[in-house]
Structure 1
Amino acid sequence: MLASDPGTNQSVEKAALILSAFAGGRLLRVSDVAKHAGLGQSTASRLLATLESLEYVERDPVSALYRLGPALITLAGIAVNQNPAHRQARQPAQDLAAALGLGVNVAERRQESLFYLCNFEGRRAPRSFALMGQRNPLHATGLGKCLLLGLNPAQRRTLVPHLHRYTPYTITTHDELDHAINEVAIRGYATETEELALGRACIAAPILDRAGSVVAAISISGPLSTLDLAEREALLAGTVIEVADSISVGLGYLVPPHVPRTHPPRQRELDS
């Protein structure tokens, strides 16, 4: 729906609604876009034609359906490169994915969701799509549990009043979530086993800024059998904490010298 604030520009709002219609990742007809945006088909058609001329959308040469265009890739690249956490985390995350052969993700919190800044796939955890720019729930992910560290229980209940169940293993009560986040604070890392999707697991650690605030998190993820947290949790926890610390230092955080750090295991231990 269009905003009623007289200070807003409805043409810009309409264009934004048109572009948001493609968030589901499908190619769309004009009628699909019009329905999503709540616009007449002729209005949607004119706006799509304008956006196409600017390369914000384009038409598939075979189906003639619309999809997002290359101009948005340019802007997205610029936007993510301006993010300090992304700049510091990108190379360490890429190196970690290559070393472990697993997926490595970096995310920050945007309102009630986690927002992926980058993701890299290892040879043992391939994906057919990029996670960058996508969102996931905070309560059902290791990354999200780390990102909730900076909030107290009352703030968490206000931010996410209802904890949706995604699998039989999803945390669905705030008492359970409080307990899980307390564990993250004590251990320095979070785990997630099939809470968001069956057959998947991850282990994550928070990334801190100069002030010691949680600004992002990094995770190692992959198929449940490949990650094998039952046998390798300590090894992977040491690794993800060490990488998170190095990114935090790059953001200006000074790791307290009296806090013992878990050193990353040798590569042959991780490969075993």
Structure 2
Amino acid sequence: MASEQGTNQSVERAMAVLATFLDGRGDLRVSDVAQRAGLGQSTASRLLATLEQLDYVERDEVSSLYRLGPAVISLAGVAVNQHPVHREARQRAQDLAGSLGLGANVAVRRGASLFYLCNFEGSLAPKSFTLLGQRNPLHATGLGKCLLLGMSAEQRRELVPRLSRFTQHTITEHDELDTALEAVAARGYATEHEELALGRACVAAPVLDHTGSVVAALSISGPLSAIDLASREGELGRRVIEAADSISNGLGYIGPSHRTDPGEETP
């Protein structure tokens, strides 16, 4: 038992060291890793040396700063390629980004956050980084609103008791979020207009599995000047619903569509 406990503690410490790099703020010193992981500097140094030998971190020969290594990329690639939503959504999201010139993103829910499985950038919405593996709040994003559709109001309040504010447009009251989600369910797509970050907007639709449950969401996103929701919401809503439905069909969903054409009025 002592040996098992020691092994578990070693794994936990190694994972804590790797987790210190997740904010993506740049290469780290040994002292930075020790402080963030809550470890002694000698312990952090030993763990980094071991992880370096295994290619999970790499050290710059000039600065002696550490960054994540190629073994992490290999694991991430295998993990994402094995995910059924990623397999079904990747090509469709890429085609959507290419045809519209905007960003196309696919995410699933992990606890109280959305988790990006893939993203592609069109010519009108370039990025110098990937969203793969990053997390964002559910209530302040179009993707997140779609992922919340499968939950009751009580479940949402239990999952996210406090709705944090990110801009002056963020929904921060559960009653307001309930109303917004009712509208999403009725029209089949969600919008987000500067609720998470100023100057950005998106249109998103839920992805369903063979049971009809919401398992993921697909969004079209970009800067306000490119996405132009005021005049293009209906068009973008149709495009994202069509793509999301195609992914849902690939996951085995064969039930009747619960969504309405964005160009039609609901009864």
TM-score range, shorter chain: over 0.9
Uncovered stretches (5+) of structure 1, i.e. residues with no partner:
264-272
Is the CA contact (8 Å cut-off) linking 1:206 and 1:216 kept in structure 2?
yes
For 1:38-187, list aligned pairs within 5 A.
38-187=38-187
Rounded to whole Å, the distance in 1 between the matches of 2:126 and 2:62 is 28
Q: Which residue of 1 aligns with 2:9?
A: 10
1:167-189: per-residue Cα shift (whole Å, max 9, x none)? 00000000011011111110000
- Give the CA RMSD over aligned residues: 1.7
Is the CA contact (8 Å cut-off) linking 1:242 and 1:261 kept in structure 2?
no
Rounded to whole Å, the distance in 1 between the matches of 2:85 and 2:206 is 11
Q: Which residue of 2 aligns with 1:194?
A: 194
1:182-234: per-residue Cα shift (whole Å, max 9, x none)? 11110000000000000000000000000000000000000011100100000
| Structure 1 stretch displaced more, 245-254 or 59-68 | 59-68
1:62-111: per-residue Cα shift (whole Å, max 9, x none)? 42200000000000000001110000000000011011110000000000
Q: What is the DSSP-based 3-state SS (H/G/I as helix, E as strand, rest coil) of the residue aligned with 2:201?
A: strand
Rounded to whole Å, the distance in 1 between the matches of 2:211 and 2:133 is 26
Distance 1:12 1:216, change over 3 A: same
Deviation at 1:257, TM superposition (A): 7.0
Q: Which residue of 2 aligns with 1:20?
A: 19
Rounded to whole Å, the distance in 2 between the matches of 1:21 and 1:254 is 43
Q: Which residue of 2 aligns with 1:217?
A: 217
Rounded to whole Å, the distance in 1 between the matches of 2:185 and 2:15 is 39
Rounded to whole Å, the distance in 2 between the matches of 1:219 and 1:15 is 35
Is the CA contact (8 Å cut-off) linking 1:242 and 1:262 kept in structure 2?
no
| Structure 1 stretch displaced more, 56-65 or 241-250 | 56-65
Q: What is the DSSP-based 3-state SS (H/G/I as helix, E as strand, rest coil) of the residue aligned with 1:76?
A: helix
Is the CA contact (8 Å cut-off) linking 1:107 and 1:115 kept in structure 2?
yes
1:20-41: per-residue Cα shift (whole Å, max 9, x none)? 0001112100000011111111
Is the CA contact (8 Å cut-off) linking 1:93 and 1:106 kept in structure 2?
yes
Query: TM-score, normalised on structure 2?
Result: 0.94
Rounded to whole Å, the distance in 1 between the matches of 2:150 and 2:259 is 19
Deviation at 1:240, TM superposition (A): 0.3
Rounded to whole Å, the distance in 1 between the matches of 2:204 and 2:150 is 15
1:128-173: per-residue Cα shift (whole Å, max 9, x none)? 1100000000000000000000000000000000000000000000
Is the CA contact (8 Å cut-off) linking 1:249 and 1:255 kept in structure 2?
no
Is the CA contact (8 Å cut-off) linking 1:97 and 1:103 kept in structure 2?
yes
Q: Which residue of 2 aligns with 1:229?
A: 229
Deviation at 1:51, TM superposition (A): 0.0
Is the CA contact (8 Å cut-off) linking 2:187 and 2:262 kept in structure 1?
no
Is the CA contact (8 Å cut-off) linking 2:188 and 2:260 kept in structure 1?
no
- Code of the residue aligned with 2:13 in structure 1: it is K
May I ask how many residue pairs the two structures share in their alignment? 259
Rounded to whole Å, the distance in 2 between the matches of 1:249 and 1:120 is 21
Rounded to whole Å, the distance in 1 between the matches of 2:61 and 2:97 is 35
Deviation at 1:60, TM superposition (A): 2.4
Q: Which residue of 2 aligns with 1:270?
A: none
Rounded to whole Å, the distance in 2 between the matches of 1:152 and 1:66 is 44
Q: What is the DSSP-based 3-state SS (H/G/I as helix, E as strand, rest coil) of the residue aligned with 1:192?
A: strand
Distance 1:259 1:135, change over 3 A: closer
Q: After the TM superposition, which parts of structure 1 deviate over 3 Å for at least 4 consecutive aligned residues?
A: 5-8, 257-263
1:232-265: per-residue Cα shift (whole Å, max 9, x none)? 00000000000000000000001417976569xx
Is the CA contact (8 Å cut-off) linking 2:20 and 2:37 kept in structure 1?
yes
Q: What is the DSSP-based 3-state SS (H/G/I as helix, E as strand, rest coil) of the residue aligned with 1:197?
A: coil
- Code of the residue aligned with 2:85 in structure 1: it is A
